Structure 1
């Protein structure tokens, strides 16, 4: 890619930085900062806002507004459990947001296969590439998650931090990002690897990375949405109780293909 084209990516990240930082700080505080630090700070603030807004609204809805409608009383996590999840996430968030910062840096320097505008390739090609991107991400996250269980040192030193939440009354939307920092980065890494394998729309990549925060909030609320083939909270709650099933991310397909799927609808029959 030539310099003129790469400047389109830099201009785009400058625009995003301005939206967040420009509305929070005077220009003389953030404009002099190095561009990459501006990008990290924007990602960090954006991640924090997303975490607290989505987690807070969802907890208010299921634990207070619709209290005992979606979950029995003994399945509602204590305030202490939720506070612990928030504390673990706060320690990890500065490191989580390094990953999108690095991915944007690589895009701006022309190291990936990203393109700036959908009009460059047309909507049919964009949709095909998006599907391929999502398949790569689904495959990558499945195997990254599975190996974090199967490789014992990785589980002991990284993933076990997340699996202290192993039953309904310790799971909440705020548990969604309560990981060891390196664990959270490894599970999101397929989003960045995909940039080197398939042409990807830059803005779509950024949006999908941040949608991870919303999705992981949803799958830790213990409410089974029953929308096939979505890997909803019903499946993920089983993952937290058996440790050996339902490693998938957005869908059940990888678990179905590799023999690790356990369906919440048939689980009671197996237990009887």
Structure 2
């Protein structure tokens, strides 16, 4: 979607991503080390730095709050993961982070070149249409992530060679916010791909798309803390902990709707089972 302005309209996306690059790279790196680099490389470095900061800041703050400041309040002492387990999760996540950073870099390149239906400003469509479009976007993402996640379990080679890396964390005392991005790189990318596919289907506000991609980093930290927030219909950590112990329930993302529709929902309040793998 070019908003009727052709190349001039697409330049708005380039200007926006260049602005993000200047904010991040200009604040953390000497100008001479990045200004001469090709724009996509600048974007990848920015996404790598941004993703790493989101991962560590959200993980450390949440671990400090639930494991130390509120020790034994939300998580019993014998279910607090060891430092060794959390360091392993950080190691796996950081090995994958350069590859994770490639996905938003590619999606931004496609937006900048007019291959998607992105819009630069909410005023291009108006607030009512924006809310409708982003609602459709989120439904597509919910549907896509549910089925991508489910097939990563159901297709045995995908599970064995990709998703099993994440499922070594299958007990409360091995799950932590740092497990949120501890995936095989291709696994993590596949589960985020629905965000990119949606750009080709529905007019999507570009800034909102970028924000939602980085929100994933915070969300995945939250759903691996084993704390059941009891906020219906949110697919929170209580549901996701069941997924890590049964392997056959609660594949969903932000809400329970997809699991409810496809009969894979198990409610933490009704769950009395242990691991049944």
Task: Answer whether TM exceeds 0.5 for this pair.
Answer: yes
In structure 2, the partner of 1:254 is 258
Partner of 2:71, secondary structure, is: coil
- 2:227 pairs with one of 223, 230, 233: 223
The answer to whether 1:176 aligns with 2:180 is: yes
**Alignment size in residue pairs:** 271
The change in CA–CA distance for 1:11 and 1:133 in structure 2 (over 3 A counts) is same
Please give the root-mean-square deviation of Cα atoms over the aligned residues, in Å: 1.1
Q: 1: CA distance between counterparts of 2:249 and 2:125?
A: 39
Q: Is the 8 A contact 2:170 2:245 kept in 1?
A: yes
The answer to whether 1:71 aligns with 2:75 is: yes
Deviations 1:227-266 (A, max 9, x none): 0000000000000000000000000000000000000001
Q: 1: CA distance between counterparts of 2:110 and 2:81?
A: 41
In structure 2, the partner of 1:22 is 26
Give the 5 Å matches for 1:50-69.
Answer: 50-69=54-73
- 1:150 pairs with one of 151, 154, 157: 154
Give the 5 Å matches for 1:129-208.
Answer: 129-208=133-212
In structure 1, the partner of 2:52 is 48
Q: Unpaired runs of 5+ in structure 2?
A: none
Structure 1 segments, 4+ long, off by >3 Å, are none
Q: 2: CA distance between counterparts of 1:175 and 1:270?
A: 20
Residue 270 of structure 1 and its aligned partner are, at CA, apart by 10
Partner of 2:212, secondary structure, is: helix
Residue 269 of structure 1 and its aligned partner are, at CA, apart by 8.6
Q: Unpaired runs of 5+ in structure 1?
A: none
Residue 71 of structure 1 and its aligned partner are, at CA, apart by 1.0
Q: 2: CA distance between counterparts of 1:11 and 1:73?
A: 50
TM-score by length of 2: 0.97
Deviations 1:149-186 (A, max 9, x none): 00000000000000000010000000000000000000
Which deviates more from structure 2 when the two are superposed, residues 27-36 or residues 106-115?
Answer: 27-36
Residue 268 of structure 1 and its aligned partner are, at CA, apart by 2.8
In structure 2, the partner of 1:94 is 98
Deviations 1:63-110 (A, max 9, x none): 000001101111000000000000000100000010000000000000
TM-score by length of 1: 0.98
